[in-house]
Structure 1
């Protein structure tokens, strides 16, 4: 696949590097920012091809995040989500055979809108909300997470809502998020190479240019999350989710 046809302007490169910076910031703690990278990449590459560009960048950023937060993950939550996430993978592959590529952007937006509305509803319930204790809660988020990460690397808000509902402290939240996506994103690589054929030598060379921006973003994320209070961390995630949903649907 020749990506040069999509990279014809300085503006395209700028959007690409900004997306890489946002991904690095998100992975090291500023949850939700990476969602802004999705519409930027979709705008430059198209909805479905952009998933193959973003995934290697995400995988590199995952390594940075896990290296820094490697000892503070809550594995019991990760293990509850992973089995059903594989079901979400399968659903996404099935949808791929039904929905044309131009429909992927709208599909991503609809999925994120559902997640966002659930977030608002959950917040409105406050301490009276005990839905997270139901047996189907974690599998539901696992399926939705697996589905959205396959169709558009857009599972960030899904996991964010789940971990927020578990009332994890800020750093436990970030560490658990880092390890979950390290596992899930690396498992996606053979699927996208074999089934979707949107990761190749050309795309990997393009991704290599993003590495410095991912590293800078990772450092910025670490510094910024230290300065965010617990409530600020939570509300920042909600705001970023809302902005990203608007960018994908409008």
Structure 2
């Protein structure tokens, strides 16, 4: 597990940095991590590598924005999200790794499309504040986060639909993903068996990369135009996801 080439180590630390950046307001950047890790470890195994990294990074967001969370939206969404996690858990047991990688790639493409569509519809908030919309977003988000840790754009669309202000948006999202990721942790250990002491050791080695990414993320948000950066992230992510399909 720890015996990687120099290039693989560089890619792993870059992935850790991108996760750290995503937790301090760099939108969509963590999407590129999912297909890269799937190429290195395989589809299903990569989810167990990524989950503890996400959990460590989640604490950055919760620690700073926890007071701004809107819990009524979390209680509305979480039961459905747990249902989506359950469906994904079953799917992960019945498909082989090749199909697992294909599902991850398809979900990444769907999430990219949702990101682009969300950008085009900015200001046009016409989503209904109803139980069935929360159910649909919860199940889809739960499935996406269990299969490939790619539920960010789905959850973002739900919170935007609820017209939450910036701090509440970040705080509610931080708590949602921390709760969901903690609930997924034992499933990866005992059901999928994608997390063990070796994978956790690797995740801890990457912790400095997460912290460095958080620092760089704050700097990049100030320096790089948002439109240019988002375009770069989307293109790189789409190319990485395409590699999973070939």
> TM-score over 0.5 for the alignment?
yes
Report what 1:249 is aligned to. Answer: 242
Q: Counterparts of 1:125 and 1:169 in 2: how far apart (Å)?
A: 17
Question: Does the 8 Å CA contact 2:111/2:150 hold for their aligned counterparts?
Answer: no
For the residue of structure 2 that corresponds to 1:31, the secondary structure is coil
Q: Counterparts of 1:156 and 1:242 in 2: how far apart (Å)?
A: 17
Report what 1:70 is aligned to. Answer: 66
| 1:194–1:241 distance in 2 versus 1, CA, 3 Å | farther
Q: Counterparts of 2:58 and 2:124 in 1: how far apart (Å)?
A: 34
Structure 1 regions of 5+ residues with no counterpart? Answer: none
Q: Deviations over 1:101-148 (max 9, x none)?
A: 121221022223334434544555565552333431111111111111
Q: Counterparts of 2:20 and 2:7 in 1: how far apart (Å)?
A: 20
Q: Does 1:86 align with 2:79?
A: no
Q: Counterparts of 1:44 and 1:71 in 2: how far apart (Å)?
A: 38
TM-score normalised by structure 2 residue count: 0.87
Q: How does 1:12-31 map to 2 (within 5 A)?
A: 12-31=8-27
Deviates more, 1:141-150 or 1:38-47: 38-47
| 1:127–1:171 distance in 2 versus 1, CA, 3 Å | closer
Q: Counterparts of 2:128 and 2:237 in 1: how far apart (Å)?
A: 25
Choose the corresponding residue for 1:141, options 110, 126, 137.
Answer: 137
Q: Counterparts of 1:205 and 1:87 in 2: how far apart (Å)?
A: 30
Question: Does the 8 Å CA contact 1:31/1:236 hold for their aligned counterparts?
Answer: no
Choose the corresponding residue for 2:35, options 32, 39, 44.
Answer: 39
Residue 205 of structure 1, CA deviation: 0.9
Report what 1:219 is aligned to. Answer: 215
Question: Does the 8 Å CA contact 2:77/2:134 hold for their aligned counterparts?
Answer: yes
| 1:22–1:127 distance in 2 versus 1, CA, 3 Å | closer
Q: Counterparts of 2:129 and 2:118 in 1: how far apart (Å)?
A: 13
TM-score normalised by structure 1 residue count: 0.86
| 1:214–1:125 distance in 2 versus 1, CA, 3 Å | closer
Q: Deviations over 1:79-106 (max 9, x none)?
A: 2211101111111112123211121221
| 1:120–1:30 distance in 2 versus 1, CA, 3 Å | closer
Q: Counterparts of 1:222 and 1:124 in 2: how far apart (Å)?
A: 25
RMSD: 2.6
Q: Counterparts of 2:135 and 2:34 in 1: how far apart (Å)?
A: 25
Structure 2 regions of 5+ residues with no counterpart? Answer: none
Question: Does the 8 Å CA contact 2:127/2:161 hold for their aligned counterparts?
Answer: no
Aligned residues: 243
Q: How does 1:164-175 map to 2 (within 5 A)?
A: 164-175=160-171
Deviates more, 1:66-75 or 1:87-96: 66-75
For the residue of structure 2 that corresponds to 1:133, the secondary structure is coil
Question: Does the 8 Å CA contact 2:18/2:213 hold for their aligned counterparts?
Answer: yes
Q: Does 1:153 align with 2:146?
A: no
